Amino acid sequence: MAKFKHSITNYGEAEKAWSEARKDASGRVKLGYMTWLVSRFDESTGRAWYGIVHHETRIVSYFTDGTIGLDNGGWDSKTTRERFDAFTPAEFRFHRVKGETVVTRLGVDGWDGAYTTPFYGSALICTAAPVAA
């Protein structure tokens, strides 16, 4: 698995990495090969978010309400699944079963009590309490 300059799995960690890191000329923080952290504000919703961009595809989005958005952008690759594993909370694992991508949420005892469901390219994960403004 690839190594990244920052460990980011939620909005708070993304916000901290953004505030401490040096931005490139495009206003992005380089995390690893072809992988960047971006910050945006959606004026139509009034919602701020941070995103993980791989190549030109925003694959992970962190929102202030604790929600994490995932979207492989049609690139169902091992590299995209590795990015999902790296940038989502540790209890989530993205892998292949019989040629299909699935996401497994590990149980309290690891793989015992784990829940696996198909991953069809995009999903929302509700993980934590909202971030205080």
Residue 108 forms part of a structural domain: no
| Residue (of 96, 97, 93) closest to 83 by Cα position | 93
Residue 94 forms part of a structural domain: no
Residue 101 forms part of a structural domain: no
Residue 24 forms part of a structural domain: yes
Number of independent structural domains in the chain: 1
| Domain coverage including residue 45 | 11-89+121-126
pLDDT reported for residue 130: 56
pTM, rounded to two decimals: 0.85
Residue 25 forms part of a structural domain: yes
Residue 80 forms part of a structural domain: yes
Residue 102 forms part of a structural domain: no
Q: Is 33 exposed, middle or buried (0-12, 13-18, 19+ CB in 10 A)?
A: exposed
Per-residue pLDDT of the chain in tens (133 residues, 90 and over written 9): 678 888 999 999 999 999 999 898 889 999 999 999 999 988 888 888 999 999 999 999 999 888 999 999 988 999 999 999 999 998 899 999 999 999 998 876 666 667 888 898 888 887 655 555 5
